[in-house]
Structure 1
């Protein structure tokens, strides 16, 4: 036995029975389809962000792979500086947490 769904279109106000789209204005009215569409949009945005991150590395990574040796050296120096600053920051954060913990 099929369940009869009556949904009012938010766009034109026509009542529709067992439809995913409005029979009058063709607006999406199914809540399930709206959720599926939103989930697909979120997944696509996450995939696009991951692809963008892979295709557009940061400056240090680009310089480390550059064919010109001087740029490679600058890239490695920049990368090393970033790592040293990150390690100092992590150590400082740990020290502050230990002092705060008592």
Structure 2
């Protein structure tokens, strides 16, 4: 027996209230939340694929000058990331003793 939070009618073994059709099953609510989270992750991945960064777009440009600038930006961002990771590792080692 589950009491509907909207209308107060008691329902037996149902996902939705038989009076007002409100979702009352906790299992169904969790299932719908998981499906929504998975759909958000899929949408985010599709957005990331369809909208690459400036460096990625420039690397594929038909003009050679723009392609060169794209590769330079890509290389600079990679080098900065490597240096930042190295500094974080060094600071962690010093802090660890």
Partner of 1:3: none
Going from structure 1 to structure 2, the CA distance change for 1:19 and 1:67 (only over 3 Å counts) comes to same
Corresponding residue for residue 63 of structure 1:
58
Question: Are 1:93 and 2:88 counterparts?
Answer: yes
- Name the structure 1 match of 2:40: 45
How far off its partner does 1:93 sit?
1.4
For residues 24 and 48 of structure 2, the distance between their equivalents in structure 1, rounded to whole angstroms, comes to: 36
Displacement of 1:46 = 1.0
**Per-residue CA distance 1:17-49 (angstroms, 9 max, x = gap):** 122111111101111111111111111111111
- How many pairs were matched up? 97
Match of 2:6 in 1: 11
Q: TM-score, normalised by structure 1?
A: 0.87
Give the CA deviation at 1:98: 2.3
User: Could you say what the CA RMSD is over the residues aligned between the two structures, in angstroms?
Assistant: 1.2
Q: Deviations over 1:45-83 (max 9, x none)?
A: 111111111111111111111112111111011111101
- 5+ residue gaps, structure 1, are 1-5
Give me the TM-score of the superposition, normalised by structure 2.
0.91
